[in-house]
Structures are given as structure tokens and as C-alpha cells.
Amino acid sequence: MLRIGLVSFWHVHAPGYAEDVLTWSETEVTAVWDEDPARGQAWAAERGIAFEPDYDTFIARADIDAVVCCAPTTMHGELLAKAADAGKHIFTEKLLTPGAAEGQALCDTIRKAGVTFTISLPCKCNPEELYIKSLVDSGMLGHISGARFRRSHSGVSDRWLPERWFDLALSGGGSLMDLGAHPVYMLAALFGAPLRLTALLNNSMRTSSDETATVLAEFPGGVIGTMETGFLTNGVPDELEVFGSEGSAFMRGGYVAQELRADGRGYRVIASEEMPAARQSPLRQFVEACIAGTAAPEGLGLADALIMTRMIEASYQANASGQTVVL
């Protein structure tokens, strides 16, 4: 049995993770901590679970093997370092930390502690993205010159994101820091860490943080990648496009299409049976890795978290300076 402590309900995904670990037979929630005591205590009391208001006391509990962290991004460095030092396995929401220097220090602490670490990068588990990655890795698209990934929603324009989302002292940033992590880590998964990048961010509806963002990056091999996100769009599914000399691939929501010179069949939609099976959710993979005593699941570990953090920090720097940032 993996005994889990829940670290904060700040992030919007926290309730879903909590319900998962309550449901699975191999896991139990033994304690809750929240920087907002009223919020955490209310959730814990409703389910008859211990609430601990002091984090140091919480993280020292002998009945916690692992933590699921949904705390504000700006608190990750301190909270997760203490978890690692206490020998607790760590699952965390993105971003790792607001900045790369803090992220590197946290990675060093976690590696030294030898605990299992997993960050939630769910697009890496979807059949559609896995299929396009297989085309890239196999070379079937030839020399790849360009790629684009967009993920956006209407959290600001339809006013359903909680007010705490716009407190930069907690979040560290807006749409790019949160939703923009998905296109950033997916293009890095496809092409590696970029060589340089630039970015444009704005807040046309005048919240305190960026509401839309576009990042343009040069990846190894001459790939020019565009990463787009925003809180102002309605009815736009995830979109991924990869353009190569021998063919191109396109994802829009739940379907994938391709056109490859080699197969001579022109543009066609890929049947579901041609795509790889979905990987289990990052949280599920984390639980299984902890129980088995293995390292982080592939593509969801410290190196992946740090590349994403560096890219997003550099994007904010590029937008602020109006300059291209070399990584």
C-alpha cells in the first residue's frame, strides 16, 4: 500500500488527483496539508482524513510514503525540497519551479535523496501525440523544418478560472506558465531542448497575468517550432502539426491525419487501431513506479521538468526584453 500525503488544493487538478488516489486499491490518503488551512481542512474533514496545518510536521509523518503536490508554483522549491529530504516520493503538477536556477537546485536535492519523482506531462501519454512522435522518430517525415502545437481554453474569457490563478505571487505567471507548458514540453519531447527562442505575451482582457502567449523556437536540426496558448479561446481543440520533406502529420483534438510521399495514398485520417495504445496517466505511472521501487517513468522525470522550466523562464525573459534568448 502506497500511503500518500496531499500537498495543497491550490491547483485546479488537485481534486481529480485526490479522487484517483482515494479510488485505487494500492493507495490511501493518510494526511492533507494546505497553505489555505480552511480549504484543506474542509476537504479532509469531509472524508475523515487527518489535516496537518504545519508543513514540517506533515512531511515528517511516518505514515506518508509519497506526496502529490498541487501547491502554488512559487512554493514548489521549498515544499518539494523538504519532501525529498524527508525521503518522500514526489508527484507534482507543472511547472517545476518558476525559474531554472531554483529548479536545478531542487533537482539536485531530489537526486541526492534518491526518491522517485514524476511531473505531470499528460500529453506525452496520448495516442495521438505518441503516433506523431513515432513518425518523427522513424524518419518517415524526412527532414523536418517546422512544427506547431496549440493548447488553449476560455478560462479568462468565460471567467471560470479561480481568482487565485491571477495572483502572481502564487502562480509565478499566467497562461504560458500553466497551460503553455503543454506545447512547450511536447515540442521538446519531439525535437529536444531548443537552441534559442523568442516570445510574445499579452493580457488584452487586463487580468494581472499573461492571457495569451506565442513562443517561437529553433530546435536542433533546423526545426522552427511554434508553441501557442491562451485563456481566451472557445472551441479550439489541441492542435499539433509537423512538416517534413517527405510528409507531414496533423493532429486536431482526437484525430490524426498524415500525408507521406512513401505510401502514395495522399492525405488520410489515421484509424484508431493504427495508433499506439495510450500510456497510463502520469499519476498512475508514478504510483506503480513507487510500488515497484523504480525510477521516474520515461519522459516524466527531472530532466524533462527542468527543460520545460528553462524554456518557459526564457520565454518570459524574451517577452520582457524584446530579444531572442539563447539557451
pLDDT, tens digit, 9 for 90 and up, residues 87-103 = 999 999 999 999 999 99
- 91-105 in b/e burial notation, b at 16+ Cβ within 10 A? bbbbbbbbbbebbbe
Structure confidence at residue 81 (pLDDT): 98
Q: Any idea what DSSP says for residue 199?
A: E
pLDDT, tens digit, 9 for 90 and up, residues 206-241 = 999 999 999 999 999 999 999 999 999 998 999 999
Contacts of 136 (CB under 8 A, 6+ apart): 144, 190, 191, 242
- Single-letter code of the amino acid located at 235: G
Mean pLDDT of 297-313: 98
Coil/strand/helix, residue 112: helix
Cross-strand pairs, 51: 32
Mean pLDDT of 52-77: 98
Beta strands in 107-153 (DSSP E): 117-119, 144-152
pLDDT, tens digit, 9 for 90 and up, residues 56-66 = 999 999 999 99
Spatial separation of the C-alpha atoms in residues 87 and 114, rounded to whole Å: 8
CATH code for the part of the protein at 123-278+309-326 = 3.30.360.10
pLDDT band at 247 (very low <50, low <70, confident <90, very high): very high
pLDDT band at 201 (very low <50, low <70, confident <90, very high): very high
Structure confidence at residue 246 (pLDDT): 98
Mean pLDDT of 111-122: 98
Spatial separation of the C-alpha atoms in residues 264 and 58, rounded to whole Å: 61
pTM beyond 0.85: the answer is yes
Q: For domain 2-115, is the CATH number 3.40.50.150?
A: no
Structure confidence at residue 27 (pLDDT): 98
Spatial separation of the C-alpha atoms in residues 88 and 102, rounded to whole Å: 19
Domains 2-115 and 123-278+309-326 share a fold: no
For Cα atoms 43, 75, 153, give the angle at the middle one, nearest 5 degrees: 70
Which helix (H) or strand (E) is 228 found in, with range? strand 223-230
Q: Where are the domains of the chain?
A: 2-115, 123-278+309-326
Structure confidence at residue 284 (pLDDT): 98
Q: Would you call the peptide bond into 300 cis, given omega within 30 degrees of 0 as the criterion?
A: no
Query: C-alpha cell of 212?
Result: 495569451
Contact 257/270 with Cβ under 8 angstroms? yes
Q: Any idea what DSSP says for residue 241?
A: E
pLDDT, tens digit, 9 for 90 and up, residues 19-47 = 999 999 999 999 999 999 999 999 999 99
- From the list 325, 296, 327, 315, the residue with the least C-alpha distance to 121 is 296
* Average pLDDT score over the chain: 97
Between helix 127-138 and helix 181-191 the angle, nearest 10°, is 30
Mean pLDDT of 174-189: 97
Q: Any idea what DSSP says for residue 262?
A: T
Give me the percent of the chain exceeding a pLDDT of 70: 100
